[in-house]
C-alpha cells in the first residue's frame, strides 16, 4: 500500500525529501511551519470514497491468484479462443473480489471512525501565552501543551515541567509496549523551573535539534539550545504518544513529533510479510507447473497444426474452414484455448483453498478454550493466517523471561530476621509442609490498611512482629522506608502502590501487611503507620540504586530524633560493608540465602546503621556541595555514599518469589521432549536468570555441566566457548563446518548452514550481555552458535533488544530451522519480528502491545504455547492437502491431455460439460481440503507426542537421512494411473 501511495505521490511530484534532522523552535509556529513537519492528525485508513474502488481492485489484482483468474477470464471472452463459457471463471472471481472488498471496506470504515475519534480529542495548547482547548489534530510541532493526570499523551513530547518534585512524571506505557509498571521521566532543570507559569512558558524559545522520526521506542537523541546553552536530550525526557500520564497532576511538554511521525505510528503498519517454507515451495512448484503448462500447450498447439495440415484440411465437407485462417493461426489460437482448458493444472485454486484453510485454522486458535485465560478474560488471538503450518516444525524457541515465563508478579515469600528463617511451614514432627492453594493463610484483618491480596502462611513471623521484637520491627520499618514507591490513596484507607520495579512493590506491601504501612511521602518526609500508630520520619537523604552500587539507602530521622541509615542491596555488596560484630549472624543468614537462591527466589540483604548528629551534619554539608558541583559530581557522590555505607548492622534478608506462570516447568519439559531447544533471552541479571532457569526446569541438577561465559574480552569469550565445546565434544573440529548450498526460487538464494553436532548428555549455557556482544561479532558468532546449539538450554542475561534480535537471526541464518520468539514487552519486539513466528504474551486483551504484535499470535500464558504448537499446527494436514491436490491434478491431466487430445484432432473440446466441471471442482476442492485439514488438525492423540512426530515427519520429507515412515504413496500412484486408464473406457458406449 505504502508503495502505491508513494508511487502516486511520485507521479504528482510531491515526493517529500527524506528528513535528516529535525529542527524547530518552541512557540514559533511560522518558523516551524516552514519545515512542513506533519501535524498531529493521524490517518490509518487506506481509502476514501473515490479511491476505494480503483485502489482496492489494484491491491487485489496484485495477488497472483486474482490476476491469473482475470487473465483467464479475458481469454475466455475471446470467442475464437474460448472453450469454456466466461462465467465459469467470472463468478468465483467476482465472488472472491467482492467478499474481500467488503471486508476491506468495513475494516477501513472502522479505521476512519477511530481516526476521527482520536483526531478530535481535546487538549490544552499554549497559544500566545494562553491555554486553549484544541483538537489533537491541530497540534503542531513546536507547540507547548499541557497534560493532566490520566490523560493520553497527545504526541511525542519533550517534557518541560511537571507538578511533581524534581520535575518527575510517571507514565504508563502499556499501550505502547505492554509493560504495566510505571516509568519515570524527568525534565531538564532549566525547563523544570518554568513550572506552570503560562507567562514563562509562553516566552520559552528553546530550539530543539533532534533525530528524524523513527520507530525506536527506547532511544532518543537530541539537543535543546536555550540562551546560548546546549542541553542534551535523551529518552528520559521524552513522553511518547500512546502513554498515559499517571500520578502526576499536570505536566507541560513541547511537541517534537506529531501524528504520523510519532514513534507509536512509526511502529505500526509496517508489517513485514512473513512467508512460510511451504509457501516458498509452493511458489517454486507453481512456476514449474506454469512451465509445464506452457510446454504442454505448445505440444498440443504443434499437434493441432500438424492435424490441421494432415487431416483437418481434408475434413472440410462438413466443416468448412474460415477463409484466410491457416494452420498457423489455428494452432496459435488453440494454444490459448489449451491454457484455459488445462487451467486446472495450475493450482491457483489451491492458493485460495489454502488461504481458507489457514483462515479457518486461525479461527480455531481464537476459539480454543485451552488457550483462554479466564483470570483476565484473554482468549488467544491469531493475528496471522499464514504461519499456522509452521507451528509444528519449530525447532528453537526464544523466550523472554519477565512476564513471559514469570507472571511479573513478585511475592514476598520468605525472610530471615536476625538469623531466624520465616516463611516455611512445619508440622508437629518438624517436617516441612508443602504450601498449596489450600494452606491456611495469615489473617491480616486486624490491620485495616492491609492489602487483601497479600498471602503469607507462616504465623510465627506475625507473632514475632506483634511481640514487638525490635529486629523484626526494624526489618519491616526498613522495608517501609527504603524504596522509591509512590503511594496513591484515592479513598481513605485504600492504598495503591506505584512501584517502578515489582520487587519493591512486593517488599513494601509485605511491610504494609505486617503492620508497617507506608502511607505517604513528600520530598522531605515519609509517613508510616506503625502498628496502627502514625509516625512521620524526616527524610534526610536518598542514596539511590544503580547497577554498579547494587544497593539503596535512606537516611531518616525518627520523631524521637534518632538518626538511622537503612540499606538494602545484593548480598555480596552488603556483606562487604558489614560491621565485624555481625560475622556470626552473617553465617546463618548466608545459609538461608543459599537456600532461597536454590529455590529460585530473588534475594536482598537488609542492614542498618545508627548515625550521630554531629557526623551527619558534616556529611550533609559535603553531600550538598557534591551534588551541586559542576565537575566530577558522580564520583564525589559515590565516594560520599561509600563512606557512610559501612560498618552496617545486619538485619536479615528477604526472598521474593518471581512467580512463575502456571505450568511453565511442565511446558518446558514437554517442549524439550519434542526436541525443541529453548533459549531464554532476558535483560535480568545473571543470578536471577539462573534461578529462574532452575525453577522452571530448564537448568537441571542432573545436567552434566552448566557453562557460564562472563569474559570481558573477545579472546576470553572465545576461550570460554571453545573450552565448553571441548568438554562437551572433545573430537569436534576446530573450524566450524559451514555448508553452503542453494535454495529458494530456482535455487538463486545462497544459504549457509552449520550442522548440528552430537553431544552425549545434557549441558546448559549461561552467557551474559558483555560476552554476548563479543560473541555476536563476525569472527566469533559461529563459535557461539556451535557451542550454544550443543547445549540443551541457553540462557542469555543482560541482553539488549538488539542483541535478542541478533541471536535469533544468527540461529535462523545458520540453522535453517523454524524459530519462534515469545515475549511481552517492547524490548522483545525486535526479537519477535526477527523470528519466523512471533508470539506476544499479552496482559490484557485488546490492549497491550497494539503496536507490537502485528502479526503472529498472542495469548496470556506461556503454557498455551504447547496447545498452540501441538493443537493447531497445520503442516501435516496442509501437506496432505497439497498431496491430494497433485493427485487430483494427475487425474485431470492424464484424461485431458493424453487420452482425449489425440482423438479429437487436437481441438480444445472439454471433457464433459466443463462449466459444471469447474464450479463443481472448485466447490469440491474447498470442501475436500477443508475436511482434510480439519481431520488432520483434530487428532485426539497425545498432542505433544504428535507434535514431535510431525516434526520428524517433516524433517524426513525435507530430506532427512533417516526414513522413518514406510511410504505407501507409491501404491496410491498406481491406483491413480489405473483408474485414469479405466475412466475413458467406462464412459458408456452409446446405446
Partner 1 sequence: MVKEEKEIANRPDNTAFTQQRLPAWQPMLSAGIVIPGFVLIGLAFIGIGVALFVTSRSITVLEIDYTGIEKDSPCYKCSDSDAKNCVCNLVFSIDSLFEGPVFFYYGLSNYFQNYRKYAASRDDEQLSGDLDAFTAPSDSCSPYNYNSNDKPIVPCGAIANSMFNDTFVLYRVVNGAKQLVPLDGKGIAWWTDYNVKFRNPSVTPLKNAFNNTVKPIFWPKPAYQLDTSDPANNGFINQDFLVWMRRAALPDFRKLYRRITDGDYAKGLPAGNYSLTIAYNYPVVSFDGRKKVVFSNVSWMGGKNEFLGIAYLVVGSLCVLMSMVMLIVYAKFKFPEED
Residues with a known catalytic role: 400
Least distance CB 680 / partner 1 (angstroms): 29
| 964 annotated as a binding-site residue | no
Closest CA to 167 of 142, 150, 185: 185
| 725 annotated as a binding-site residue | no
The DSSP letter of residue 378 is B
Q: Mask 601-630, x = binds partner 1 (CB under 8 A)? A: ------------------------------
Which segment (62-70, 310-318, 606-614, 803-811) binds partner 1 by CB under 8 A?
A: 310-318
Which segment (43-51, 247-255, 545-553, 975-983) binds partner 1 by CB under 8 A?
A: 975-983
Least distance CB 828 / partner 1 (angstroms): 23
Tell me the number of residues near partner 1 by CB under 8 A: 57
Closest CA to 619 of 636, 633, 605: 636
**Residue 961 touching partner 1 (CB under 8 A):** no
| 828 annotated as a binding-site residue | yes
- Whole-angstrom Cα distance, residue 462 to residue 125? 53
Least distance CB 741 / partner 1 (angstroms): 28
**Residue 908 touching partner 1 (CB under 8 A):** yes
Contact pick of 916, 939, 942, 957 for partner 1 (by CB under 8 A): 939
Which segment (48-56, 420-428, 675-683, 937-945) binds partner 1 by CB under 8 A?
A: 937-945
Q: Give pairs for 118-126: CB < 8 Å, separation 24+.
A: 118/42, 119/41, 119/42, 121/152, 121/154, 123/147, 123/151, 123/154, 126/27, 126/198, 126/201, 126/202, 126/252
| 400 annotated as a binding-site residue | yes
- Whole-angstrom Cα distance, residue 949 to residue 936? 13
Q: Cell for 973? A: 500412484
**Backbone φ and ψ of 913, nearest 5°:** -75, 100
Q: Are strands 130-135 and 122-127 parallel, antiparallel or unpaired?
A: antiparallel
Q: Cell for 80? A: 475464437
Q: What angle do CA 316, 320, 325 make, to 5 degrees?
A: 110
The C-alpha R_g of the chain, in whole angstroms, comes to 35
Q: Cell for 563? A: 538518626
| Cβ density class 575-588: b for 16+ within 10 Å, e for less | bebbeeebeebbeb
Closest CA to 174 of 392, 349, 408: 408
Contact 554, 539 (CB under 8 A): yes
Q: Are strands 533-543 and 551-557 parallel, antiparallel or unpaired?
A: antiparallel
Least distance CB 914 / partner 1 (angstroms): 11
Task: Report the Cα 268 to chain-centroid distance in Å.
Answer: 13
**Residue 316 touching partner 1 (CB under 8 A):** yes
**Cell match 496513591: residue?**
488
Which segment (185-193, 533-541, 731-739, 958-966) binds partner 1 by CB under 8 A?
A: 958-966
Q: Cell for 898? A: 493424453
**Residue 949 touching partner 1 (CB under 8 A):** yes
Least distance CB 968 / partner 1 (angstroms): 5
Least distance CB 869 / partner 1 (angstroms): 15
40 vs 378, which CB is nearer to partner 1? 378
Contact pick of 374, 452, 493, 580 for partner 1 (by CB under 8 A): 374
- Whole-angstrom Cα distance, residue 501 to residue 409? 10
**Residue 319 touching partner 1 (CB under 8 A):** yes
Q: What angle do CA 819, 825, 573 make, to 5 degrees?
A: 105
| 398 annotated as a binding-site residue | no
Closest CA to 259 of 156, 117, 164, 410: 156
**Residue 77 touching partner 1 (CB under 8 A):** no
Contact 229, 277 (CB under 8 A): no
Closest CA to 104 of 34, 28, 52: 52
**Residue 898 touching partner 1 (CB under 8 A):** no
**Residue 372 touching partner 1 (CB under 8 A):** yes
Least distance CB 887 / partner 1 (angstroms): 14
Which segment (197-205, 361-369, 453-461, 917-925) binds partner 1 by CB under 8 A?
A: 361-369
**Residue 845 touching partner 1 (CB under 8 A):** yes
**Residue 985 touching partner 1 (CB under 8 A):** yes
- Whole-angstrom Cα distance, residue 839 to residue 859? 8
Q: At what angle do helices 459-466 and 470-481 cross, to 10 degrees?
A: 100
Contact pick of 198, 469, 590, 909 for partner 1 (by CB under 8 A): 909
Torsion of CA 708, 710, 715, 720, to 10 degrees: -10
Q: Mask 83-122, x = binds partner 1 (CB under 8 A)? A: x---------------------------------------
Contact 154, 145 (CB under 8 A): yes
**Residue 978 touching partner 1 (CB under 8 A):** yes
**Residue 733 touching partner 1 (CB under 8 A):** no
**Residue 78 touching partner 1 (CB under 8 A):** no
Least distance CB 369 / partner 1 (angstroms): 5
Contact 400, 681 (CB under 8 A): yes
Least distance CB 511 / partner 1 (angstroms): 31
| 132 annotated as a binding-site residue | no
Contact 475, 514 (CB under 8 A): no
Least distance CB 305 / partner 1 (angstroms): 14
| 401 annotated as a binding-site residue | yes
The dihedral region occupied by 78, where left means phi > 0, alpha psi between -120 and 50, and beta the remainder, is: beta
| 633 annotated as a binding-site residue | no
**Residue 964 touching partner 1 (CB under 8 A):** yes
Tell me how crowded residue 104 is: count the other CB atoms within 10 A of its CB: 17
Contact pick of 935, 942, 958, 960 for partner 1 (by CB under 8 A): 935
Residue 708 DSSP SS3 = strand
Side-chain half-sphere CA neighbours of 472 within 13 A: 18
580 vs 971, which CB is nearer to partner 1? 971
- Whole-angstrom Cα distance, residue 75 to residue 325? 19
| 804 annotated as a binding-site residue | yes
Contact pick of 12, 468, 733, 982 for partner 1 (by CB under 8 A): 982
Q: Cell for 387? A: 504461519
Which segment (21-29, 522-530, 608-616, 903-911) binds partner 1 by CB under 8 A?
A: 903-911
- Whole-angstrom Cα distance, residue 678 to residue 670? 11
| 270 annotated as a binding-site residue | no
Closest CA to 925 of 982, 875, 887: 887
**Residue 938 touching partner 1 (CB under 8 A):** yes
**Residue 221 touching partner 1 (CB under 8 A):** no
| 402 annotated as a binding-site residue | yes
With residue 988 as reference, give the H or E element that holds it.
none
Contact pick of 16, 18, 548, 986 for partner 1 (by CB under 8 A): 986
636-695 binders of partner 1 (CB under 8 A): none
498 vs 930, which CB is nearer to partner 1? 930
Least distance CB 822 / partner 1 (angstroms): 21
Tell me how crowded residue 973 is: count the other CB atoms within 10 A of its CB: 11
Q: Cell for 441? A: 493463610
Which segment (218-226, 527-535, 739-747, 982-990) binds partner 1 by CB under 8 A?
A: 982-990
Tell me how crowded residue 706 is: count the other CB atoms within 10 A of its CB: 20
Least distance CB 905 / partner 1 (angstroms): 5
**Residue 936 touching partner 1 (CB under 8 A):** yes
User: What does the binding site for partner 1 look like in residue numbers (CB under 8 A)?
Assistant: 79, 83, 311-312, 314-320, 337, 364, 366-369, 372, 374, 377-379, 845, 871, 903-905, 907-909, 934-939, 949, 963-966, 968, 970-971, 974-975, 978-979, 981-982, 985-991
**Which residues does the annotation place in the binding site for ATP?**
400-402, 504, 545, 568, 602, 682-684, 798, 804, 827-828
**Which residues does the annotation place in the binding site?**
400-402, 504, 545, 568, 602, 682-684, 798, 804, 824, 827-828
**Which residues does the annotation place in the binding site for Mg(2+)?**
400, 402, 824, 828
Amino acid at each position: 500500500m505504502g508503495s502505491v501511495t508513494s508511487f502516486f505521490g511520485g507521479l504528482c511530484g510531491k515526493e517529500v525529501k527524506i528528513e535528516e534532522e529535525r529542527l524547530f523552535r518552541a512557540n514559533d509556529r511560522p518558523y516551524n511551519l516552514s519545515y512542513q513537519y506533519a501535524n498531529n492528525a493521524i490517518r490509518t485508513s487506506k481509502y476514501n470514497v473515490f479511491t476505494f474502488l480503483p485502489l482496492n481492485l489494484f491491491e487485489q489484482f496484485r495477488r497472483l491468484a486474482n490476476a491469473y483468474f482475470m487473465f483467464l477470464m479475458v481469454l475466455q471472452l475471446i470467442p475464437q479462443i474460448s472453450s469454456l463459457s466466461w462465467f465459469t471463471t467470472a463468478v468465483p472471481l467476482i465472488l472472491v473480489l467482492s467478499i474481500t472488498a467488503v471486508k476491506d471496506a468495513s475494516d477501513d470504515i472502522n479505521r476512519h471512525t477511530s481516526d476521527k475519534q482520536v483526531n478530535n480529542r481535546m487538549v490544552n495548547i499554549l497559544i500566545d501565552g494562553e491555554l486553549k482547548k484544541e483538537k489533537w489534530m491541530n497540534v503542531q510541532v513546536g507547540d507547548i501543551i499541557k497534560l493532566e493526570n490520566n490523560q493520553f499523551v497527545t504526541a511525542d513530547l519533550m517534557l518541560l515541567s511537571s507538578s511533581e518534585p524534581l520535575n518527575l512524571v510517571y507514565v504508563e506505557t502499556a499501550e505502547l509496549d505492554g509493560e504495566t509498571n510505571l516509568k519515570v521521566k524527568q525534565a531538564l532543570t532549566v525547563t523544570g523551573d518554568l513550572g506552570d507559569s503560562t507567562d514563562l512558558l509562553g516566552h520559552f524559545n528553546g530550539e530543539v535539534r533532534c533525530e528524524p522520526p523513527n520507530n525506536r521506542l527506547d532511544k532518543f537523541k537530541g539537543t535543546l539550545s536555550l540562551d546560548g546553552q546546549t542541553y542534551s536530550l535523551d529518552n528520559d525526557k521524552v513522553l511518547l504518544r500512546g502513554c498515559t500520564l499517571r500520578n502526576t497532576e499536570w505536566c507541560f511538554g513541547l511537541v517534537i513529533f506529531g501524528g504520523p511521525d510519532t514513534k507509536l505510528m512509526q511502529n505500526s503498519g509496517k508489517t513485514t510479510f512473513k512467508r512460510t517454507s511451504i509457501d516458498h515451495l509452493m511458489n517454486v512448484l507453481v512456476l514449474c507447473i506454469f512451465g509445464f503448462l506452457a510446454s504442454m500447450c505448445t505440444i498440443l498447439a504443434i499437434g493441432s497444426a500438424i492435424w490441421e495440415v494432415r487431416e483437418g484440411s481434408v475434413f472440410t465437407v462438413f466443416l468448412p474452414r474460415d477463409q484466410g485462417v491457416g494452420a498457423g493461426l489455428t494452432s496459435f489460437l488453440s494454444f490459448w484455448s489449451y491454457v484455459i482448458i488445462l487451467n486446472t493444472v495450475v493450482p491457483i485454486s489451491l492458493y485460495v483453498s489454502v488461504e481458507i484453510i489457514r483462515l479457518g485454522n486461525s479461527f480455531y486458535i481464537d476459539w480454543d478454550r485451552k488457550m483462554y485465560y479466564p483470570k483476565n478474560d484473554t482468549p488467544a488471538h491469531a493475528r496471522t493466517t499464514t504461519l499456522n503450518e509452521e507451528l509444528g516444525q519449530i525447532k528453537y524457541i526464544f523466550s523472554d523471561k519477565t512476564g513471559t515465563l514469570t507472571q511479573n508478579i513478585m511475592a514476598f515469600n520468605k525472610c530471615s530476621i536476625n538469623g531466624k528463617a520465616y516463611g516455611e511451614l512445619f508440622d508437629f514432627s518438624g517436617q516441612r509442609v508443602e504450601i498449596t492453594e489450600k494452606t491456611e493463610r495469615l489473617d491480616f484483618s486486624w490491620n485495616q490498611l492491609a492489602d487483601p491480596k497479600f498471602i503469607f502462611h507462616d504465623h510465627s513471623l506475625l507473632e514475632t512482629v506483634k511481640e514487638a521484637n525490635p529486629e523484626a520491627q526494624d526489618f519491616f520499618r526498613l522495608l517501609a522506608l527504603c524504596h522509591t514507591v509512590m503511594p496513591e490513596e484515592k479513598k481513605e484507607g485504600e492504598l495503591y502502590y506505584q512501584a517502578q520495579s515489582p520487587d519493591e512493590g512486593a517488599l513494601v506491601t509485605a511491610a504494609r501487611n505486617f503492620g508497617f504501612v507506608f502511607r505517604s511521602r513528600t520530598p522531605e518526609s515519609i509517613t508510616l503507620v506503625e502498628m496502627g500508630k502514625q509516625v512521620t520520619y524526616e527524610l534526610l537523604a536518598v542514596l539511590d540504586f544503580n547497577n554498579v552500587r547494587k544497593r539503596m539507602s535512606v537516611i531518616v530521622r525518627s520523631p524521637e530524633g534518632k538518626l538511622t541509615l537503612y540499606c538494602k542491596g545484593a548480598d555480596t555488596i552488603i556483606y562487604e560493608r558489614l560491621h565485624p560484630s555481625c560475622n556470626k549472624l552473617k553465617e546463618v543468614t548466608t545459609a538461608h540465602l543459599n537456600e532461597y537462591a536454590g529455590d529460585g527466589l530473588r534475594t536482598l540483604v537488609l542492614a542498618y546503621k545508627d548515625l550521630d548528629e554531629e557526623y551527619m551534619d558534616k556529611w550533609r554539608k559535603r553531600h550538598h556541595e557534591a551534588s551541586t558541583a559542576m565537575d566530577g559530581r558522580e564520583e564525589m557522590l559515590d565516594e560520599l555514599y561509600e563512606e557512610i555505607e559501612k560498618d552496617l548492622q545486619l538485619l536479615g534478608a528477604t526472598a521474593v518469589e518471581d512467580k512463575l506462570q502456571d505450568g511453565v516447568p511442565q511446558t518446558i519439559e514437554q517442549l524439550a521432549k519434542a526436541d525443541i531447544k529453548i533459549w531464554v533471552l532476558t535483560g535480568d541479571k545473571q543470578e536471577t536468570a539462573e534461578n529462574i532457569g532452575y525453577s522452571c526446569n530448564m537448568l537441571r541438577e542432573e545436567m552434566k555441566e552448566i557453562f557460564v561465559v562472563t569474559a570481558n574480552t573477545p579472546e576470553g569469550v572465545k576461550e570460554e566457548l571453545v573450552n565448553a565445546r571441548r568438554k562437551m565434544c572433545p573430537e569436534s573440529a576446530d573450524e566450524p563446518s559451514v555448508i553452503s548450498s542453494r535454495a529458494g526460487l530456482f535455487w538463486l538464494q545462497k544459504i549457509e548452514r552449520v550442522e548440528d553436532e552430537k553431544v552425549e548428555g545434557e549441558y546448559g549455557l549461561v552467557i551474559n550481555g558483555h560476552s554476548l556482544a563479543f560473541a555476536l561479532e563476525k569472527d566469533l558468532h559461529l563459535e557461539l552458535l556451535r557451542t550454544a546449539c550443543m547445549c540443551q538450554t541457553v540462557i542469555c542475561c543482560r541482553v539488549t533488544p538488539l542483541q535478542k534480535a541478533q541471536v535469533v537471526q544468527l540461529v535462523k541464518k545458520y540453522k535453517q530451522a523454524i524459530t519462534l520468539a515469545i515475549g511481552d514487552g517492547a524490548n522483545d519486539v525486535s526479537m519477535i519480528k526477527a523470528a519466523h513466528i512471533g508470539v506476544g504474551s499479552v496482559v490484557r486483551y485488546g490492549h497491550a502491545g497494539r503496536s507490537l504484535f502485528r502479526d503472529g499470535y498472542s495469548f496470556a500464558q506461556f503454557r498455551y504455547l504447547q496447545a498452540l504448537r501441538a493443537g493447531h499446527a497445520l503442516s501435516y494436514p496442509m501437506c496432505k492437502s497439497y498431496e491430494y491436490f497433485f493427485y487430483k491434478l494427475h487425474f485431470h491431466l492424464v484424461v485431458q491431455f493424453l487420452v482425449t487430445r489425440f482423438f479429437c484432432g487436437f481441438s480444445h473440446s472439454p471433457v464433459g460439460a466443463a462449466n459444471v466441471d469447474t464450479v463443481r471442482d472448485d466447490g469440491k476442492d474447498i470442501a475436500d481440503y477443508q475436511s482434510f485439514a480439519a481431520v488432520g488438525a483434530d487428532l485426539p492423540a497425545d498432542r505433544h507426542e504428535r507434535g514431535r512426530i510431525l516434526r520428524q515427519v517433516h524433517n524426513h520429507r525435507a530430506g532427512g537421512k533417516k526414513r522413518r515412515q514406510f511410504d505407501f504413496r507409491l501404491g496410491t500412484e498406481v491406483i491413480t494411473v489405473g483408474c485414469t486408464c479405466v475412466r475413458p473406457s467406462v464412459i458408456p458406449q452409446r446405446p
